Amino acid sequence: MERLEQFIKQLDFTVVLEWLDKMIIIITQLLLDSGIDIPEEYRPLVALGIIYLGATLVVLLSVLLLLKIFRKSKKSQPQITPEAEKEPEVAAPEEQPEAEVEETAVAEAEVLTAEPEPELEAEPEIEPEPEPTLSVFERFKRGLSKTQSSLVGRVDSLLRGKAVIDEDLVEELEEILITADLGMQTTQQLISSLEESRSRGELESADQVRQLLMAELRQILQVETKQLDVDSASPFVIMVVGVNGVGKTTTIGKLANQFAQSGKKVILGAGDTFRAAAAEQLQIWGERAGVEVISHAEGSDPGAVAFDAAKAAVARNADVLLLDTAGRLHNKVNLMEELKKIRRVLDREIPDAPHEILLVLDATTGQNALIQARLFNEAVALDGIALTKLDGTAKGGIVVAIAAELNVPVRFIGMGEQIDDLRPFDPEMFVSVLFDTAK
Ligand SMILES: Nc1nc2c(ncn2[C@@H]2O[C@H](COP(=O)(O)OP(=O)(O)OP(=O)(O)O)[C@@H](O)[C@H]2O)c(=O)[nH]1
Ligand SMILES: [Mg+2]
């Protein structure tokens, strides 16, 4: 206290007062010069007010300036952060808009007498980095999550808390299997097995029902046919067929990338000369996979593309030729006849070609996919099936229906639009993922 009193006593306010006085005179003079006449007695007050306002303004401006400097230095900070922290900024632009197409649940009749459809946009340019942390099992699990809940999820909630497996429960199971797109035939087969086990007294717990379903599904999915072995011929010719919009071109792009990655020389043939921009779309995929694309002008003969692509594949010593085809043609042209013609052209140029006729089916179309598979199989004898868009559908049960009814193996499943979203179909893993039993 004493020290403070001493300090105040020592203060010399006369300097401050003198300075203020000078300021008041200057401000008053300035006001008079600019024609503002203020009564004498108020002049010091107004001058003091102006000094106060000026001082406040200076303080405010200083604060704003400081804030600006502070923000600037914060913005420039990432430049000196370590690499790892910069990554999200670099990765963000790689999220690209997806090319959208209309729904393509095309029925049997529509396949043959199809109208020209709206154009597809070009394919996405850059794919995001694959997530390295996910195991193959986890990726399957994520891709099949909707199918899992529509099939096994519902079976599990039906079985939950059930002490007895009676006729009513089996009936309810039947309904679940049908609505999960397993198809009539497959459902009947599964239900008869369940009934048989029940009559033998072997079906007394929920777990036994699960085990039996798993065993039956595994057996149905094991289609005994020749494997897809691209080393068995050179060039190995894969002709890709399917109705419009199912994912033929995308699947070809993904396959081309996989083959090229494994060191094979790949050539693509743009056999879809009907749809506008189809060749360009394939060209983009070709660039992404780093492989050559043989194409002709829009509207030209697809047989001629097949011929040129086969010639190029032989001349360039290619290991694999992947030929795209149209999913729709002009009204009067028969799609199946056109495919047969392309097949003949390939066979003339390369012995036994095409070595694989791969049908692409869109899983989201459910039972329609099964109808398409029957139709194409009758017309051109399919060797394998690629089932796309499993990621966006609860109708993945269609895999089982296809295997059971057609005896044509599902070779690949598509679980996304990106280049590495096509996976070989593994029946064992499929069942494990659905029943969530594998680690
Ligand atoms: N979510 C998802 N989308 C897919 C998958 N496969 C293809 N697509 C998308 O399906 C759309 C159609 O694919 P395309 O490859 O152009 O189909 P297409 O059979 O060649 O069609 P057309 O040339 O018209 O006969 C595109 O937007 C693809 O990105 C998949 O496995 N999952
Ligand atoms: Mg296409």
Tens-digit pLDDT profile for residues 332-370: 568 888 999 999 999 999 989 899 999 999 999 988 999
What is the Å distance from ligand 1's center to 341 Cα? 25
Rounded Cα–Cα distance for residues 435 and 153 (Å): 9
From the CB of 276, is ligand 1 less than 6 Å away? no
All residues at 6 or more sequence positions from 204 whose CB lies less than 8 Å from its CB, including other chains: 164, 165
Ligand nearest to the CA of 99: 1
- Taking residue 85's Cβ as centre, other Cβ atoms within 10 Å add up to 10
How much is the pLDDT for 27? 79
From the alpha carbon of 416, which atom of ligand 1 is closest? 32
* Section 56-80 average pLDDT: 72
* Section 138-157 average pLDDT: 86
Is it the case that residue 81 has pLDDT exceeding 70?
Answer: no
**Residue of 117, 410, 417, 423 to mutate, ligand 1, most atoms within 8 A of C-beta:** 417
From the alpha carbon of 254, which atom of ligand 1 is closest? 6
Rounded Cα–Cα distance for residues 247 and 124 (Å): 13
Helix (H, G, I), strand (E, B) or coil at 98: coil
All residues at 6 or more sequence positions from 317 whose CB lies less than 8 Å from its CB, including other chains: 234, 235, 265
What is the Å distance from ligand 1's center to 425 Cα? 18
From the CB of 120, is ligand 1 less than 6 Å away? yes
For the chain, the distance separating the N- and C-terminal CA atoms, rounded to the nearest angstrom, is 77
Rounded Cα–Cα distance for residues 198 and 54 (Å): 95
Average the pLDDT over each of 99-103, 136-140, 263-267, 356-360 and give the range with the smallest value: 99-103
Q: Which amino acid is at 310?
A: A
Q: Which two tokens stand for residue 413?
A: 């499943």
From the alpha carbon of 243, which atom of ligand 1 is closest? 25
Is it the case that residue 80 has pLDDT exceeding 50?
Answer: no
**Alpha helices in 76-97, H assignment, sequence order:** 83-91
From the CB of 257, is ligand 1 less than 6 Å away? no
What is the Å distance from ligand 2's center to 75 Cα? 45
How much is the pLDDT for 282? 94
Taking a C-beta distance cutoff of 8 angstroms, is the pair 327, 273 a contact?
no
Rounded Cα–Cα distance for residues 332 and 330 (Å): 6
Taking a C-beta distance cutoff of 8 angstroms, is the pair 346, 353 a contact?
yes
**Alpha helices in 262-334, H assignment, sequence order:** 278-289, 302-315
From the alpha carbon of 324, which atom of ligand 1 is closest? 20
H or E, element range at 422: strand 422-424
What is the Å distance from ligand 1's center to 7 Cα? 85
What is the Å distance from ligand 1's center to 243 Cα? 11
**Residue of 96, 388, 398 to mutate, ligand 1, most atoms within 8 A of C-beta:** 388
Rounded to the nearest 5 percent, the helix, strand and coil shares of the chain are: 55, 10, 35
Taking a C-beta distance cutoff of 8 angstroms, is the pair 158, 173 a contact?
yes
From the CB of 414, is ligand 1 less than 6 Å away? yes
368-423 per-position pLDDT tens digit: 999 999 999 998 999 999 999 998 888 888 999 998 888 899 999 999 888 888 99
